[in-house]
Structure 1
Amino acid sequence: MKKSLVLLLTSILLLVACSNSNPNQLQSWAYEVVTWNNQVYTMTNEVITEVESEIGAIKIHSTNESDDLPNLFSNKYQKGTKLFKIKDVEPIDYIAVLDNGSYYKAKKMKTAAD
């Protein structure tokens, strides 16, 4: 009986110790996002070939989930990543993000007000 109690307590201690998450661990987001002009854009895999002008750069990178996302934020791209206007497309709908020499399309997320 004593051995069973010790084994049970040891197992519980190990389970509790292993379940504590690391605060620096990558959080689970539903989407990869960037923010620009106080709007949230979700990333796509679509490569853009023509952009016009740079419209900003990521200032804040974090993998911590939040309901309040600051302007020029990304949960994927590092600080300094450039954002661009896509040729002949309004940036209120789509923008491009420069990543490793390619421009990727980001689509504005719909909100309840849209």
Structure 2
Amino acid sequence: MRKIRFTVKLILAVLLLTSCATNSPSTSTQKTINEEASWAYFYVKIENRVYIISENEDNLVEKENIGEQIGTVQEKYDYEEEEQQLTSTIVSNYLEEGTKLFAIKDVDPSIHIAIEKDEGIFIKATEKNSVPKKQKTN
């Protein structure tokens, strides 16, 4: 009889411990992982125009090619759902609030703009519809 009680208590203890020690992510953690992964690229949105941001060396803009400031990022959001709730005209899923945006001399701002990533360092952002589509190779 003692062995049976001991076995039952042991089984209950093991069940209790294993049920408390699950390593599955919480709902909020899973939501964050899914939503962050759903953005295909970083961008800044000015009114209804979306500029894709790519930080590679080809997209650096020399300071002497920077034109006038055209605005600053007003809001940064972390989830796609937030974008629908924002009322600002300049928002980004990557750039911090206050990041300055500039025209590039002799470049149509409907195609490219410059972003001051760090003090005196500018990167080019390309309007989404102006980005060349990758061709499939067979």
TM-score (norm 1): 0.76
Q: For residues 20 and 57 of structure 1, do their structure 2 counterparts lie closer, same or farther at Cα, with a shift above 3 Å needed?
A: same
Q: Displacement, 1:6? A: 1.4
- More helix by percentage: 2
What's 1:57 paired with? 72
Gaps of at least 5 residues in structure 1 are: none
Q: Displacement, 1:38? A: 2.0
Gaps of at least 5 residues in structure 2 are: 1-6, 131-138
Instruction: State the number of aligned residues.
Output: 109
Matched, 1:71 2:78: no
What's 2:3 paired with? none
What's 2:50 paired with? 40
What's 1:83 paired with? 101
Matched, 1:99 2:117: yes
RMSD: 3.2
Any idea what SS the aligned residue of 2:54 has?
strand
